[in-house]
Structure 1
C-alpha cells in the first residue's frame, strides 16, 4: 500500500487530456483527477459519451494507462442543494451522473461538496450560516439540515449501489465545512459511502490545523487535495471572514480564473489570506508531517495537487507543487 501522488487537471483546461497528462507525468506524478460537472465544465471527461459507450470507457482509460497514470478521482464540485435555478438541480444531476460514471469506470472516489440550501422554503439564494450565537440562525440551520439529510441519504444509497465513495470537501459556504459540521452530517445522514476530501487550504484560512483535523477525522478521510494557503498580515485587522471584496474585474487580463467561465471576485489589496502554490505557505517539513499524519490514518490514499495560485502560471504552479509534494513524500517515506 502506498499513496498515489497526482494533480487535479482543471487548471490545465486549455490543454487536451493527453497534453495535461503528459505535463503531470513529466513532473513525476502518477495520478490524475478530472472534473465532470458542477461549477465548472468537464473538458477532460466527455461524460455523455463515457456513460453511453463501453468502448469509449476502455479507450478513455487507455489514455491514462498509456502514460503510466491512474485516474484517481472524478470531481463534481457544486451546490446540489442551492435554490438557484442555475445551480441546484443541475449540480445534483451532475453528481448523480458522476457517481454512475465512476462506477462504470471503476474509479473509487467522487469529490463533491455538501452544498448550501437557502434560509427557508421560499429562499432565492443559498445562505452559509456560521457562528449562530444569537439564536435565529439555529432555526435556519435546522431548515437547511431538513433539506440536506434526505438528499444525501439518496446519494449515499446510489454510491453504495455503484460501489463508489463520495468524498465531501470541507469547503466554506457549505453545510459541512469543518470536522464538527461533518460529524453532524454523519450523525444525521448515517452514511456508509460518504466521507471527506481533506483539502488543507480551506482549513488553513479558517485558522484550523489540518494535521489535528486529520487525527480527528481519521477513517472518514477518503481523498486528499494538496493545496496551500498563506495567512497574511491583513488578517490582523480584517479577520478571515472578510466581506471587503469587489466584483470580477471588467478587464479579462486582470481576472483570476477558477474554472472555465468562472472567475474570483476582486480581492482586497491587503487580504487576510490567499491560496498559494504548495510550498509557498508551508515548507516541505510541514508537508512531510502532513503526509505522516495521513499515513497513520490510511496508507493508500490518492493525493492530488490543486493549483489556484493566481501569482503563478498553470504549469509553473503545478511544477512548484510537485517539487514540494514529492520531496515531502521522500522525507516521510509515505
Structure 2
C-alpha cells in the first residue's frame, strides 16, 4: 500500500510547492482534482490534453518527487436536472477519463450524481424513505431512466480507455451505500466501483470494515479515502442522521468530519487497513482532510502520523511459518 493525499487541501500552493511539501511529509501518491467541486488548482485539464510536451513535463515533475498519481478526481453531479450543471459535469468526466489514460492513471473518482424526480425538474431529489410510495416511484424512475443508462455509457467509455471509475459513497447522491454501489455495478459494468470513504459510512450507521468485505468480495473497491467522522449523540437524538445543520455549526451537528484518528481510534483504523488487504486492496490510502477544528497543515500532519503505523507496506507472498 501507499500513503497518499487529495491535494485539494493545498490549492493555495503552486504545483511545484505542493509536490515539495507532500513529498517532504513521506507521501507517496497524490490524488488530483481536475475540476468540479474539488477545483483544478494543480491539474489544468484542457492545457494537459492539448499539449503533449506540457503533459510529459507535468508527469516528470511528479516522478522527480518520488510520487505517483493515484487518481484524477472530478466530483460533481452529471445527472443534475439542470443542463447548465449536468452538461459541464459530464464533459469534465469524459475529459478526465481521457487525461487519466494519457497520464496512465488507473482511476477517476467522482460522484454517481442525483437526478430530479421527473424530466422537467429543477433540482435533485434524494429519496431516503420507502413510504409514502411516491418516493419509490421517484427512485424507480431515477434508476431506470437516468442512472443506469448514463453509467452504462460511462462504463463502456472507461473500459475503452482502460480506466476504472471510483464513485464516492456520499449522502445526497444516488449511490451512497455498498448496496447501491453494487446495484449500479451489476447493472452497468465492472469498470464502476467505489472510492471508499469511511467518514461517509459512519454517519449512515454503516461499519466500514463490513462495507469493505461486501465490496471487496466483488472486487469493487477502486480507490480509498482516509477521513474520519465523530458522532454527537445528544445532537443525533435531536436532529437524526440526515442532519441539515450547516457544517460550520459543529456544536449543533449530529456528526462532523475529523482528521484520521480523531473520530475513531488507531485500532479501528488498523482493522480497516487490514480488511482492505484481506480483500485484495493493495493500492493507495488517500488522505482527505475536512476537519473544522484543525488547520490544513495540522490536520494533514496528524493524519499522516496516525496512518503511518497501521499502513501495510509489504504484502505476504507465502505463509512462511507453514
TM over 0.5: yes
**1:93 pairs with 2:91:** yes
1:212-255 CA distances to partner (integer Å, 9 max, x unpaired)? 0000111100100001001113113221112344xxxxxxxxxx
Which residue is 2:230 aligned to? 230
Mapping 1:43-192, distance limit 5 Å: 43-145=41-143, 146-189=145-188, 191-192=189-190
Which residue is 1:259 aligned to? none
**SS in structure 2 of the partner of residue 33 of structure 1:** strand
Which residue is 1:287 aligned to? 269
Q: Which fold has the larger relative contact order, with Cα–Cα distance below 8 Å and residues 6 or more apart in sequence?
A: 1
1:61-111 CA distances to partner (integer Å, 9 max, x unpaired)? 111111111111100101000013442111111101000000011100001
Query: 2:8, 2:39 within 8 Å by CA — same for their partners in 1?
Result: no
CA apart distance, 1:159: 0.5
Mapping 1:196-275, distance limit 5 Å: 196-218=194-216, 219-233=219-233, 234-245=235-246, 266-267=248-249, 269-275=251-257
1:106-163 CA distances to partner (integer Å, 9 max, x unpaired)? 1000011100000111100011111223211111011111111111111111101111
Query: 2:250, 2:256 within 8 Å by CA — same for their partners in 1?
Result: no
Unaligned stretches of 5+ residues in structure 1: 246-264
Inter-partner Cα distance in structure 2 for 1:177 and 1:143: 17
Unaligned stretches of 5+ residues in structure 2: 317-322
Inter-partner Cα distance in structure 1 for 2:250 and 2:285: 31
CA apart distance, 1:333: 7.3
**SS in structure 1 of the partner of residue 223 of structure 2:** strand
Inter-partner Cα distance in structure 1 for 2:4 and 2:100: 18
Inter-partner Cα distance in structure 1 for 2:39 and 2:252: 32
CA apart distance, 1:41: 2.1
When normalised by structure 2's length, the TM-score is: 0.93
CA apart distance, 1:269: 3.3
When normalised by structure 1's length, the TM-score is: 0.90
Aligned residues: 312
Q: Once superposed, what is the RMSD of the aligned Cα atoms?
A: 1.7
**1:314 pairs with 2:314:** no
**SS in structure 1 of the partner of residue 285 of structure 2:** strand
Inter-partner Cα distance in structure 2 for 1:237 and 1:288: 32
